Amino acid sequence: MNAETSQAIHKLVFDWLRLAQADLAIAQMVNDERITTEILVFHAQQAVEKALKALLVQRQIEFPKTHSIGMLLNLCKEAKYDVPDDLDETATMTAYAVVTRYPGIELHISTKDALDASELAMQLLAWVKSQIEEPL
């Protein structure tokens, strides 16, 4: 791979990671009464989704437009990332991608659910950062 292509991939990886970190920052705002638990878990899910997509970009693995954390985890495993078993739990966050954003769909999200989602997203992002390769 030439240096220009490598730099473009590296930039895209860090763009995905930057957005994931911004979503995580919102997911961690549990004490801000203006932000509903539904919005908190949505951003936790988005942080996980975007972080996993950063890894796939790094390995130049194509992925469909999807919110499915399970699918993205499987693609990461197929790309030879050694995903820790405890991070498989993030797949349950897929429901937070759509259901929590619109009224009329009943899904009770407690403060504990929001805290748990934020913690899990933080763990996944820490692992993803450990997998990010520096540019050549």
Residue 59, in any domain of the structure: yes
Locus of tokens 């790309």: 79
- Residue pair 30/114 in contact (Cβ under 8 Å)? The answer is yes
Give the total residue count for the chain. Answer: 136
**What are 85-128's pLDDT values in tens digits?**
999 999 999 999 887 666 666 678 999 999 999 999 999 999 99
**What are 44-75's pLDDT values in tens digits?**
999 999 999 999 999 999 998 999 999 999 99
Residue 25, in any domain of the structure: yes
Q: What is the CATH number of the domain that holds 25?
A: 1.20.120.330
Residue 120, in any domain of the structure: yes
What residues make up the domain containing 45?
A: 3-131
Residue 136, in any domain of the structure: no
The pTM is what?
Answer: 0.92
3-state secondary structure of 135: coil
The number of folded domains in the chain is 1
Residue 88, judged by CB atoms within 10 A of its CB (0-12, 13-18, 19+), counts as middle
